[in-house]
Amino acid sequence: PSPVSPSSVPPSTARATGSVEASASPPRGTADATLRQGDKGTQVRELQGRLAQLYLYVGERDGSYTYEVTAAVRRYQWARGLRDDAPGVYGRETRRSLESETTEP
């Protein structure tokens, strides 16, 4: 038999589509969970509160990661020179930085 060669097609980075639960925030207690537009939950509400402390977000603290939250996260990342996380995505670097200069709402 001939040897199997690795595929030259890179793995897909697209997010799976489906139910709302698929994009819901990870359960509470997941300290380094990555949050992005479309996520919902208590961690998003906390993020909204932290961004509000820095006057970057003035919307409702309803736990929905909306376009406005994405824009606020982007502004924060740009102002702090954060580049490890994708623009507008609340990942490990952005979370650590924001949590270091705000208090839990």
Please state which CATH number belongs to domain 34-101: 1.10.101.10
What was the pLDDT predicted at 55?
97
What was the pLDDT predicted at 30?
52
Instruction: Say how many C-beta atoms besides its own lie within 10 A of residue 25's C-beta.
Output: 22
What was the pLDDT predicted at 105?
87
The two counts, helices (H) then strands (E), for the chain are 3, 0
> pLDDT tens per residue, the chain (105 residues)?
655 555 554 554 445 444 343 344 444 445 668 999 999 999 999 999 999 999 999 999 999 999 999 999 999 999 999 999 999 999 999 999 999 999 998
What was the pLDDT predicted at 31?
61
What was the pLDDT predicted at 6?
54
Distance CA 58, CA 68 (A): 9
What was the pLDDT predicted at 36?
97
